[in-house]
Structure formats: C-alpha cells, structure tokens
C-alpha cells in the first residue's frame, strides 16, 4: 500500500480511536437488552391450516438457519398465523408439528434482505411420527406487500464481472434505474455513488444502508463507506411506496447485508488486476497524431486484492456454537492516467522579451503584434515614475517588444524561477500526463452472537482509509496546471450494534445503535509553499497561511493559466449517531410494527475561503495578461479574512406504525403511517447570517463612493469616506480576525440576535405525516399470480450544503476585493484612484451573499404510486409487470433575486458608461448578487417496468426493461451545491427549465446471467474435473436510449454580467441527427451527432453578446448505448 501515515491507521487503531462510540453503543444495548432488540433483515410469515382450510392454532413451528444451526421456535396463534421477524438472511428449514397431524417440513426457504416471505402449511391428518417434506421454490411471487423493490443476490454480487468491482456498478440492475456512470467507477464512496437515479428522482435523495444502519453523508449526500464486494451478502433496492419503517429519504433506499460467519470455518483470497496493456484503443483516437508520433494509451494500473475469513467461535468443546465472526480486508490501488491541456506562457518571454508570443499570435486583447506601454492615465503617479525612469512614455511600443528588466516585478520573477508554469510542449500549449493515484485500505468485521433462544446480538465495524492525489487541484473551479495539486485523505467508518429480544410468542423487540462518520483531510502538494516559490507576501488580513496566492492569467482565454492551491489545507469532521427501537406484535391476522428513533448529524467544517489571496491578470494594462503579470500589474485582487470552523448540527426524529393485515386468504393490506421531524440544519453557535427581504430598509440605502457602484464607502481616512461603524446598515463582525472590517448588513438576520430568525434560518415544518398503503391480492388463490400496488408519501432530509455558505455571509465571513493593485504588495494600488491601501482603509464593497427562502422552505416531498402483476411461470421463473410513477413537490433550486429590470440588460452590456450603473439599478442596493436557495420546484415520473427472474438448473438470469418519462426543472446532479442548481433564466424561474431530466432515458433494458457449465463437473477423472470442470460463464448486457443533452452558449454572454444563470441558444429549425463523420483539427476522427444549423445564438442587437434563447432544456438526445 501507498497510504501516507498521515491518513492510514490500522484497524486496531481505528477501533481504539472510536472506542467511545463503541462503548456508548454497548452500554445502551446492555441497558436495554432485557426487553429490547433490533435487526432489519427478513421476516417469515404464514398460515397453518388443515386439508379442509380450517386454521390450526398452537402448532409448533421450528425455523432452522442451515448455515449456522440457529433455531427459532414459535407457535401459530388463534388465527393460525405465525410471524418470525428479524431473521438473518440465508437458507432455512421450516418444520410444523401439531397434534393429530403429520410433521410438515419445507426446506430450501431462501430469505433475502428486506424479505417478507410467506410459507403456508396445509397439514395432513396422520401420525406425528410421519413427515411430509417439500422443497420451497427458489423464486416466488411477492404475496405479502405492494412495495416496488428488487434483490441483488450474493451470487450476482460476486460472480457478475464488473469493471472496477464496485457496489455502484451493479446497483442499477433494477427496473426504474437510470445511470450516467461510465464503464468504470473510482473505487471510493465519495464520487462513485452519484450517478444512478431511481424512478426519475434525484441522486442526492438516495439512501444507502448497511445492516439496517444509515451509511449516508447527511452533510453532502452520498455514501460514507463502500464495503468490499466480497464482504456483501446481498442488497435490495427499495424504489417506491415501501413500508413506513423506512424514511428520511424520498428516493430509493438501498439496504445491504454483510456476510456473517457460519458453522464451518471458511476463507478466501483474491486478486483482480487491470492494466492499459490489455485495453483496446479508443475507436476515435488515431494511432498516430498529426506530427507522426504515436498516441499513447492513457495509463491504467488497477489492483484489487484481499482476503476474508469467517466461522464459529466455540467457548465450550462439543457444544453448538453461538458466536460467529466474519473478517474482510481489502486493498484497492488505482493509477488512472489523464491529460492536462492548457495554454501557458512561452519560457522565452520570462525575461521580458515578448517576441515569440507576439509572433505566434492570438495573445493580445487588441489582436495586434506589438506590445505597448500602459496608458499613464490608468496608472498612479508612482507607477508612471517607474516607466519614465526606464525611458518609456505613455502608450508607446516597448522597444523590440521587450519589457526592461528594471520593470519586472520581483514576485513575478520568483514565481517563474520556482516553475509554477510548465513549459509549453506544442506552440503555446502544454500537454502532459496527470496520473492520479487512489489507494484504499478497508477492514471490516462482523460478529453474531446468540445468548439463548430469546436474545441475540450482532454488530459490525468498518474502517476505510482512502488517499487520493488530485491533479490539478480538486474543487478549484479552474486550476489547470500540474505544478500545484493536492492529496485527499478520507478515512471513513461505520459501526452497528443490533439486538433482538423475543419477549413472547407474538411479541418481538429490536433496538439498534448506529454510527457513521468520515473525515476529509486535504493538503496542498507540489510547489505551493511560500518557501517553495519565493513569493513575498503582504496580506490585507492577519489570517496565517503558508500558501502562495492564486495566479490567474485570464484575458478572455488568451493565456488561460491558473495556478491555484484552492482553500487547502482544509479538513472537516462528520459524525452521525442513530438510536432506534422497533416492536413487532402479532394479533390474529394483524401483524403490527411500531418504531421510533433519533438521528443526529454533526459536521465541523471550516469556511471554504482562499485566505492566501487571489491575483487576476486580464491584460487591462498592456493588452497581454502575461505581460501584465511580469510588470506586477494585477487587474484585481481578493483575499478572505478568515477560515474558521463552523459547527453544523442536524437532528431528526421519526415514529411510525405499520399493520400488515392478512385481510382474507387472498388479500394482504399494508397500512402504515410515518412521521418525520426534520428541523433544518443549524450552526450551533449561531455563526451565520441570512438575507431577509422584509428586514431590508430602503432608508438605509448607501451612497456609493465610486462611479461604478462597487464601493459603498472607501473606508476611514480616505477623502471620499462617509462611513463609520455607526453608519446605518454598517457593522463589524465579532471575529477579531476581521480586524474591524466594516460590512454592509442591510436586510441581514442572525440567529439568537434578530427577532424571528430561527436557529436554522428558515421556518421548520413539522407536519410531515406520510401515509403508506400497499396491497397484494392473490388472483388465483395458489400464490402464482398476484395483483400488487400501493402509494406512499415520503419526505427528504435536506443535506447541509445549502447552509454552509451562510456561515461565510457578512458579519461572520469577510473579504476584500480590490481593483488594480501591485502583485508585490496589494496594499499598493497601481491606478489613479487606489494608490495606498491599508487594512483600516479597506473599502466597504458591494458583494455577493447567499439567502435561504425562510418562508418557503418545506421539506422535499415525494408522492409515489404503483400497480402491477407478478406471475409465476413454472416453479423457477417469475415475471413482474408494473406501472410506477411519482409526483415530487418542494424540490430545491437556486435563483438570483437581485435583478435589474430586464429591459436594461441590453444597455448595460452594449454601453460601457451604462454598465457601470448596474449595481445602482438592482432592487436591493448595496449587494451585487443575492442567490436564493428555494424549495418549490416540481417533477414527475411515469413508467412501465418489467422484470423477469429465473433459476433453472445451472442458469440464473435476471432481465429488466423500463419505458419511462422523467420531467423536472433541475435534476440536482451535483453542480452548484449538489442538490441546488441555478435556474437558467432568473427572470422566468424554474418553470422555464421544465423538461426532460438529465436521467431521462426512454428505454432502458438489461440482462445479467450466471451459468455454471455442467461439463465434467462430476467426472471421476480428477484431472478433467479440476481443469475442464467447474467453469462458469457470466455477463451483463445493457441497452439504453440516449440521455438528454442541454445545449448552452459559452464565451461572451449576458450571464457574465448577470451572474448565477446560463444561456441557451435559439432553436431555428428542426432537430436532426445526421451522424456525419468528420475530422477534428487535431486529426482525430469523430461523429457530428446533431445538425448545428438548427440552432443560432440569440445576440443582443448591435453586440456580440448572447442573451437568453428560446431553446428548451435538454432538447437534444445523445447516442444510446449497447454494452455487452
């Protein structure tokens, strides 16, 4: 392994470090074990009757787990009913004995995770010494509930060969699933689980569970751990109108069970490897490039290896074992090649001679080939004196296009000497490999113990150590150089302790304590330290950092290099604790279940701020961004004042009642009601603020201190200053690191300080009652054809990314944004209006803030429904056909609030004088952007879903087909805040974006099969038996129509002025897909998928700036996929 000692720790160390959590769980359970327990596994139900159909009460039922030998004994009640809850998954033998009847024995009863399986007995009159044995069908119709779900068996998990051996590579093998994931998934939970949608719902609303416990990151969505494929016994995808015991998720619940030990000791070891030497070349990539050299295959080295061992623990010789263990250890080592391609400065220009760049062309904003001295009217007197001393005058060409050495900025030269820019490899372009390693070490242990026939306990502990290298920097939003990158450490944990107590023949109680947590530790790497780069730092604020500032050469794509270490170093801590209790009670033909629980999620996370500073160079002075950089003339500088921690907390409560009512011999009703108490996430110290339009006072509208409205006032001691801390709507934040920075607070509210502002900034909604109704009607009375359906209302626990930016709003965060400053010292302005800056004279600037819509922030709600038929085709095949649909309300989105009148936009864009007035034309003066998180969008989904399962001799097969339509305004696939994507046109809102979901595939079909080749398997010839016999064939076939494509307009468009929006073109003709073969300028062959003449950019008259077009969202379709 290549895990750094910073992040890697042994299993023993992990257990030791989390001993407080484990001891707490143990103490809770020992205190409750006399009366309570919990295990969310499987349930066996049935009716005991005689040959005439009369029920048989008090029949003795013995249920034996064939793998462990553990026995559950119970009796039928007065209605002849029996219910065995909380049974571990596995293969069972069920015996029934009653006075005057022969012994009935059903073998081979397979219970899968989440099963509710019916096994009825019709006893025959006879001597009790005689027995009648039958074998249960391997696949049966579901006669006990109306939920929509699908099981992925242990055989499928381990025997289906997937690219990457990831749980998330097979989680979509169910009707209703639609995936955007490629053929390969990174073998980590973060980033590997965000690509599968179920029934058109958002991926962030999926919930992953392990052994009945949440394995979800409630702070940012997704899973916390990704157990080894070889440690998972099986999993079930619950996708629609499921039982009331499941909640806090409005989409699918994927519940998996880990393997456990058996009566025999068993062990296994494995190694799986991938290497680019075995990969085929991409069809569209020629073997040789334009200059005749061979195009190398992207580097790939992927090794997965490990072992597991499981079995009994005997404390007394000769006794039946009561304790079983299973231990699994796995390593996943991945090196995945990539390529960086970016424009960089010519190395010959580092000393000031610009000729190579100018002769190459395309580097000057003016389009000319001569570099000119900046116009003195844009410079301060000190800067003018420097050029004059070098013998240069305003606007003249630099002699020989060369900047004199005396004018080269010392910090710029230090950065170049340190090598922050790689040398170009072709023209002015750097093309280079960026191999990003990922190393995972996972240890997992599960222990099951039966104290007696009334009380049992099981638990697991999982520790994952993950270390990744990101080239370029992760989450930076523009970093494109290999010289600075990061290491991403993500140790993650899951712990579960479940106990089950059989209180009486009809009463069973379960209790559980669940813990899940992860850590994120991100460290910059490469050339990032001040000592690495020789950069002499002069910060505006006192926040300590040893990170070199961001350098952004961004002159409209002229250079486009961005040296960026992002906010690193940075770390956070996330911990989730859950306690729940579930009581099962059988009375007559009613099987009741009651439950309640509490979940608390805590996240300690610093602000995501660049305290090292950010210098931009856009060619304002010389026309060439790199020349401005050499001169140290920055067009803009920003610096965050602090990166302190925020302590986020979200608590949830729930309670439910479920009645599975065997109303008649043919009809079973599932009646449930669930309540979810889901208050919004809050910062426990109240360190956040929110904008409330009702608190905004127009009487406190500022007088702008500069012509373009970017400064409310210039600060104390500056000639045009008129602001002090006592001025209306101005205040200083409580953190000393802000150094008394004045900030604009008109309309801001703070928890605990502003009347009416709640801890979570928004109104909490407690009326979250979700009824669940399901039914299963046996049409034939033989359990072979069942009409099934149901409906339910589910509520979503909103993940916390909507809140985190509120912790950096004014008063609790702070930054300075300055125009035209010196690279060597941002305190020194380089233009006429900004010549001398100190912390005490920082301007109060117009900035952007985040708002949560306090009065319209209900929990996302899903109304789900289905109706279908299951039919048994012979003894070993089941066909299911269903209509499945849902309507969703109160979905999250973001929308810009602070909008000028739409009629003014063309003027702002085409008239430079008017453009300076933008900040003076918005409704909430003093703010540039107010981006509002809202819960108010809708979506819907309708589908036909067909599934076929069969197990015939040596063949296991599953096939599924989905014909569907998913419509929404914003899918929430990650984007801006995971579940929070901006509307494209804020003037029209989310309804303007109504259209196909990004996961909307009209047709999705798959088949997976496992065939145990029978030849020579039982041969008496050991050589043939061991070499030719025992082989297996397996495969997955996926066929799906194309996913939607949203066509946008990049480059010069209205959203560069408006912010928080996006532009689509006009549709001027019919959309067609000619599939025309074409060759790119790089020499690569490709296909022109659609006809671009059907679209035209909607330009503002008299300008080259694009404005909103009439094309609808996701109007195009990409190619389908047939993957064998």
Q: Is residue 839 part of a domain?
A: yes
Q: Which of 135, 152, 182 corresponds to the end of one domain?
A: 135
Q: Is residue 46 part of a domain?
A: yes
Q: Determine the pLDDT at residue 981.
A: 84
Q: Is residue 1095 part of a domain?
A: no
878 in Cβ contact with 139 (< 8 Å)? yes
Q: Which of 135, 155, 185 corresponds to the end of one domain?
A: 135
Distance CA 299, CA 285 (A): 15
- From the list 535, 557, 434, the residue with the least C-alpha distance to 486 is 434
Min mean pLDDT across 552-561, 603-612, 947-956 is at 552-561
> Is 242 strand, coil or helix?
coil
What number of other Cβ atoms are within 10 A of residue 1014's Cβ? 12
Q: Determine the pLDDT at residue 910.
A: 75
Does position 977 have pLDDT exceeding 50, yes or no? no
The pTM assigned to this predicted structure is: 0.89
Q: Which of 852, 885, 915 corresponds to the end of one domain?
A: 852
Distance CA 267, CA 328 (A): 10
Q: Determine the pLDDT at residue 669.
A: 97
Ranked by mean pLDDT, which of 385-399, 419-433, 472-486, 691-705 comes out on top?
385-399
1031 in Cβ contact with 1013 (< 8 Å)? yes
Q: Determine the pLDDT at residue 723.
A: 63
Q: Determine the pLDDT at residue 560.
A: 83
Q: Is residue 1000 part of a domain?
A: no
Average pLDDT on 839-865 reads 83
Output the CA–CA distances (angstroms, integers) from residue 512 to 29, 578, 657, 1086, in the order listed: 8, 8, 18, 56
Q: Determine the pLDDT at residue 11.
A: 44
Q: CB under 8 Å to 316, separation ≥6 — which residues?
A: none
Q: Is residue 702 part of a domain?
A: yes
- From the list 815, 645, 807, the residue with the least C-alpha distance to 744 is 815
Q: CB under 8 Å to 778, separation ≥6 — which residues?
A: 143, 665, 666, 667, 785, 786
Report the greatest alpha carbon distance in the chain. Answer: 119
Q: Determine the pLDDT at residue 850.
A: 86
Does position 359 have pLDDT exceeding 60, yes or no? yes
Q: CB under 8 Å to 153, separation ≥6 — which residues?
A: 112, 234, 956
Q: Determine the pLDDT at residue 920.
A: 84
Min mean pLDDT across 162-171, 205-214, 857-866 is at 162-171
Does position 316 have pLDDT exceeding 90, yes or no? no
Q: Is residue 225 part of a domain?
A: no
Q: Determine the pLDDT at residue 166.
A: 84
Please, which pLDDT band fits residue 13 given cuts at 50, 70 and 90? low
Q: Determine the pLDDT at residue 485.
A: 94
Residue-wise pLDDT tens digits, 1042-1070: 999 999 998 888 998 888 899 999 999 99
Does position 22 have pLDDT exceeding 50, yes or no? no
Task: Kindly report the backbone phi and psi dihedral angles of residue 1057, in degrees, each rounded to the nearest multiple of 5, phi listed first.
Answer: -95, -45
Domain count across the chain: 2
**Kind plus residue range of the DSSP H or E element containing 894:** strand 877-896
Q: Determine the pLDDT at residue 837.
A: 59
Distance CA 179, CA 998 (A): 10
Please, which pLDDT band fits residue 1110 given cuts at 50, 70 and 90? very high
Average pLDDT on 759-770 reads 93
Residue-wise pLDDT tens digits, 991-1025: 999 999 989 999 999 999 999 999 888 888 888 88
Q: Determine the pLDDT at residue 625.
A: 92
Higher pLDDT pick, 359 / 22 = 359
Q: State the CATH number of the domain containing residue 128.
A: 2.60.40.1120
Residue-wise pLDDT tens digits, 639-662: 998 898 999 999 999 999 999 999
750 in Cβ contact with 650 (< 8 Å)? no
933 in Cβ contact with 851 (< 8 Å)? yes
| Domain boundaries, position 818 | 680-763+799-852
Q: Determine the pLDDT at residue 952.
A: 86
Residue-wise pLDDT tens digits, 259-314: 999 999 999 999 999 898 888 776 656 676 656 677 777 788 999 999 999 999 98
Q: Is residue 251 part of a domain?
A: no
Distance CA 732, CA 992 (A): 40
Average pLDDT on 50-55 reads 90
Q: Is residue 808 part of a domain?
A: yes
Does position 373 have pLDDT exceeding 50, yes or no? yes
Does position 725 have pLDDT exceeding 70, yes or no? no
Does position 953 have pLDDT exceeding 60, yes or no? yes
Residue-wise pLDDT tens digits, 104-159: 999 999 999 989 999 999 999 887 666 777 777 778 899 999 999 999 999 999 89
Q: Determine the pLDDT at residue 518.
A: 93
| Bridge partners (DSSP) listed for residue 978 | 974
> Is 531 strand, coil or helix?
helix
- From the list 234, 160, 163, the residue with the least C-alpha distance to 1010 is 160
Q: Determine the pLDDT at residue 759.
A: 92
Distance CA 265, CA 323 (A): 12
Distance CA 620, CA 601 (A): 48
Q: Determine the pLDDT at residue 209.
A: 92
């Amino acid at each position: 392994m290549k895990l750094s000692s910073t992040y890697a720790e042994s299993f023993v160390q992990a257990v030791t470090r989390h001993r407080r959590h484990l001891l707490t769980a143990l103490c809770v359970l020992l205190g409750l074990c006399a009366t309570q327990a919990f295990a969310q596994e499987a349930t066996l139900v049935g009716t005991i009757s005689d040959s005439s159909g009369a029920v048989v009460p008090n029949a003795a039922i013995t249920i034996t787990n064939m793998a462990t030998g553990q026995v559950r004994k119970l009796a039928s009640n007065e209605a002849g009913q029996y219910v065995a809850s909380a049974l571990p998954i596995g293969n069972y033998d069920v015996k029934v004995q009653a006075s005057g009847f022969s012994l009935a024995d059903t073998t081979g009863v397979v219970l899968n995770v989440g099963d509710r399986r019916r096994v009825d007995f019709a006893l025959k009159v006879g001597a009790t010494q005689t027995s009648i044995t039958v074998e249960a069908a391997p696949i049966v119709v579901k006669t006990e509930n109306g939920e929509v779900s699908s099981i992925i068996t242990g055989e499928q998990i381990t025997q289906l060969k997937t690219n990457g051996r990831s749980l998330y590579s097979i989680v979509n093998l169910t009707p209703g699933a639609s995936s955007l994931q490629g053929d390969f998934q990174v073998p980590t939970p973060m980033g590997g689980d965000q690509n599968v949608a179920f029934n058109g719902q958002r991926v962030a609303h999926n919930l992953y569970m392990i052994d009945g416990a949440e394995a979800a990151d409630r702070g940012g969505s997704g899973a916390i751990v990704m157990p080894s494929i070889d440690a998972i016994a099986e999993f079930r995808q619950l996708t629609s109108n499921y039982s009331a015991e499941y909640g806090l998720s409005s989409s699918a619940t994927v519940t998996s069970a880990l393997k456990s030990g058996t009566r025999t000791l068993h062990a296994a070891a494995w190694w799986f490897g991938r290497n680019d030497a075995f990969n085929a070349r991409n069809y569209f990539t020629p073997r040789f490039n334009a200059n005749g050299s061979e195009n190398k295959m992207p580097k790939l080295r992927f090794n997965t290896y490990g072992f597991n061992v499981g079995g009994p623990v005997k404390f007394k010789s000769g006794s039946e074992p009561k304790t079983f263990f299973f231990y699994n250890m796995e390593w996943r080592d991945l090196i995945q090649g990539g390529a960086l391609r970016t424009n960089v400065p010519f190395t010959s220009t580092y000393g000031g001679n610009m000729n190579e760049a100018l002769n190459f062309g395309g580097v000057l904003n003016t389009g000319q080939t001569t570099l000119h001295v900046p116009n003195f009217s844009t410079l301060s007197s000190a800067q003018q004196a420097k050029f004059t001393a070098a013998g240069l005058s305003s606007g003249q060409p630099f002699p020989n296009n060369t900047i004199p050495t005396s004018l080269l900025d010392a910090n710029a030269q230090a950065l170049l000497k340190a090598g922050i820019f790689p040398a170009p490899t072709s023209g002015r372009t750097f093309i280079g490999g960026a191999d990003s390693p990922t190393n995972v070490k996972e240890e997992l242990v599960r222990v099951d113990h039966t104290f007696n026939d009334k009380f049992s306990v099981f638990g697991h502990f999982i520790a994952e150590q993950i270390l990744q290298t990101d080239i370029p920097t992760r989450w930076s939003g523009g970093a494109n150089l290999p010289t600075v990158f990061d290491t991403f450490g993500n140790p993650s944990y899951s712990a579960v302790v479940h106990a089950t107590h059989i209180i009486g023949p009809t009463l069973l109680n379960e209790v559980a304590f669940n813990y899940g947590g992860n850590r994120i530790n991100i460290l910059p790497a490469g050339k990032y330290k001040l000592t690495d780069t020789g950069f002499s730092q002069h910060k505006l604020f006192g926040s300590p950092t040893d990170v070199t500032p961001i350098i952004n050469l961004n002159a409209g794509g002229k250079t486009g290099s961005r040296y960026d270490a992002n906010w690193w170093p940075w770390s956070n801590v996330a911990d989730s604790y859950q306690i729940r209790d579930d009581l099962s009670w059988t009375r007559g033909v009613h099987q009741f279940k009651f439950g309640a629980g509490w979940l608390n999620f805590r996240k300690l996370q610093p602000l995501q701020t660049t305290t090292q500073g950010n210098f931009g160079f856009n060619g304002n002075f010389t026309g060439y961004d790199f020349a401005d950089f050499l001169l140290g003339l920055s067009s803009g500088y920003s610096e965050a004042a602090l990166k302190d921690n925020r302590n986020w907390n979200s608590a949830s409560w729930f309670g439910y009642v479920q009645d599975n009512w065997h109303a008649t011999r043919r009809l079973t009703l599932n009646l449930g009601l669930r309540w979810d108490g889901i208050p919004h996430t809050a910062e426990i110290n109240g360190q956040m603020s929110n904008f409330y339009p009702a608190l905004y006072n127009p009487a406190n509208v500022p007088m702008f201190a500069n012509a373009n409205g970017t400064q409310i006032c210039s600060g104390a001691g500056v000639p045009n200053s008129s602001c002090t801390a006592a001025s209306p709507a101005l205040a200083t934040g409580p953190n000393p690191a802000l150094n008394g920075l004045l900030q604009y607070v008109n309309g801001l509210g703070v928890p605990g300080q502003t009347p009416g502002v709640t801890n979570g900034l928004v109104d909490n909604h407690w009326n979250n009652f979700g009824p669940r109704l399901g039914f299963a009607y046996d049409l034939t009375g033989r359990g072979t054809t069942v009409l099934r359906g149901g409906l339910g209302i589910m509520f979503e626990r909103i993940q916390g990314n909507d809140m985190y930016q509120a912790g950096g709003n004014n008063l609790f965060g702070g930054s300075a944004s300055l125009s035209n400053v010196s690279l060597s010292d941002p305190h020194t302005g380089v233009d006429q209006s900004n010549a001398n800056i100190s912390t005490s004279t920082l301007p109060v600037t117009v900035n952007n803030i985040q708002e949560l819509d306090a009065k319209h922030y209900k929990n996302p709600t899903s109304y789900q429904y289905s109706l279908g038929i299951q039919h048994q085709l012979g003894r070993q095949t089941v066909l299911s056909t269903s209509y499945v649909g849902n309507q969703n309300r109160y979905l999250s989105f973001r929308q810009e609030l602070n909008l000028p009148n739409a009629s003014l936009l063309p003027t702002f864009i085409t008239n430079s004088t008017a453009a300076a007035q933008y900040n003076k034309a918005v409704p909430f003066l003093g703010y540039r952007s107010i981006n509002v998180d809202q819960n108010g969008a809708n979506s819907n989904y309708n589908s036909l879903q067909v599934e076929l399962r069969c197990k015939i001799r040596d063949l296991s097969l599953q096939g599924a087909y989905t014909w569907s339509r998913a419509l929404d305004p914003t899918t929430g696939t990650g984007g801006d805040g995971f579940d929070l994507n901006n509307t494209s046109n804020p003037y029209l809102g989310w309804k303007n974006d109504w259209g196909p979901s990004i996961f909307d595939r009209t047709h999705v079909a798959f088949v997976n099969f496992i065939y145990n080749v029978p030849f020579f398997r039982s041969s008496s010839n050991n050589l043939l038996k061991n070499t030719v016999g025992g082989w297996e064939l397996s495969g997955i076939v996926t066929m799906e129509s194309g996913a939607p494509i949203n066509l946008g307009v990049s480059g010069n468009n209205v959203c560069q002025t408006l912010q928080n929006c996006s532009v689509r073109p006009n549709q001027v003709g019919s959309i067609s897909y000619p599939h025309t073969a074409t060759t790119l300028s790089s020499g690569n062959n490709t296909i022109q998928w659609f006809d671009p003449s059907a679209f035209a950019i909607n330009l503002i008259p008299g300008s080259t700036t694009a404005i909103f077009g009439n094309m609808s969202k996701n109007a195009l379709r990409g190619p389908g996929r047939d993957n064998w």
